[in-house]
Amino acid sequence: MSLRRLSQLQWIGLLAGGTIWWTEYLAGIAESQVRCNSASGNWGLPHDAIQIGFGAFAGTIVLVALAASAIVFRETRDHEEHDPPPHGRLHFFSAAALAGNVIFLTIIILTTVGTVVDRTCHVA
**Residues 6 or more apart from 71 whose CB is under 8 A from it?**
1, 6, 9
Q: Hey, how many other C-beta atoms are within 10 angstroms of the C-beta on 108?
A: 25
Interaxial angle between packed helices 47-75 and 3-36, expressed in degrees from 0 to 180 and rounded to the nearest 10: 160
pLDDT of residue 41: 67
pLDDT of residue 40: 76
Q: Hey, how many other C-beta atoms are within 10 angstroms of the C-beta on 109?
A: 14
What is the widest separation between alpha-carbon atoms in the chain? 59
pLDDT of residue 76: 92
Element (H, E) at 44: none
Instruction: Please give the span between the terminal C-alpha atoms of the chain, in angstroms, as a whole number.
Output: 49
Nearest to 17 by CA among 54, 51, 68, 82: 68
pLDDT of residue 86: 87
pLDDT of residue 73: 95
Mean pLDDT per 10-residue section of the chain, whose length is 124 residues? 91 96 94 82 82 97 97 89 81 95 97 86 58
pLDDT of residue 42: 75
Q: Is the CB of residue 7 less than 8 Å from the CB of residue 90?
A: yes
